[in-house]
Amino acid sequence: MNLDELKKLKEKAQRHVALREGNKKYRVVVSMGTSGIAAGARDVMTTMLDEIEKRGIDDVEVTITGEIGLVDAEPVVRIEEANGEKTTYANVNSEGARQIVSQHLETGKKVETLAVGKVKEA
């Protein structure tokens, strides 16, 4: 770890705060419990944030949650849509994270190969 890296933190956090304002079409929830972190959830999340920023997508909110019980499928990413529809993606790596952003979040087309289940909210 070096200080020069840390100095970029403020700037980066600032951009992500700005990203959170306004009404969002999608809410991305990354499972960040012990098992998720150990499986690489943190890097999945930062990859998604970077990709969302790079593509200029502004109707997405990214957040994290604790252990969700899918320990053997981590890293797990859940996409919640404004209409209540939820899609859960399992065993997501950086490549998968980029795919989810470029397909699901940008074009609305689900990444079938990574999805484990869809729940329609009542």
Partner 1 sequence: MMDELSMHVLDIAMNSLAAGAHRVEIAVVESQRHDFLILRVRDNGRGMDAATLARVLDRRTTSKLSRKKNIGLGLAMLRQTCEMCDGHFHMRSVPGSGTSVTASMRLGHVDRPPVGDLNSTILALCATNEKVDVQLKYRTDKETFQFSSQELHQQEGTKP
Distance set, CA 43 to CA 48, 51, 70, 118 (Å): 8, 12, 18, 24
- Any contact of residue 54 with partner 1 (CB under 8 A)? no
* CA gap 7, 111 in Å, rounded: 36
- Of residues 25, 27, 67, 102, which one binds partner 1 by CB under 8 A? 67
Q: Which is nearer to partner 1, 8 or 120 (CB)?
A: 8
C-beta of 111: minimal distance to partner 1 in Å? 21
C-beta of 116: minimal distance to partner 1 in Å? 17
Q: Which is nearer to partner 1, 69 or 117 (CB)?
A: 69
Pattern 9-38, binding to partner 1, x per CB under 8 A?
xx-xxx-xxx-xx--------x-xxxx-xx
- Element containing residue 92 per DSSP (H, E): none
With beta carbons less than 8 A apart as the criterion, state whether 35 and 71 touch: yes
Q: 43 exposed, middle or buried (CB, 10 Å; 0-12, 13-18, 19+)?
A: middle
- Of residues 24, 25, 27, 42, which one binds partner 1 by CB under 8 A? 42
Phi–psi pair at 35, nearest 5 degrees: -70, -35
- Any contact of residue 120 with partner 1 (CB under 8 A)? no
Find the binding residues for partner 1 in span 76-115 (CB under 8 A).
none
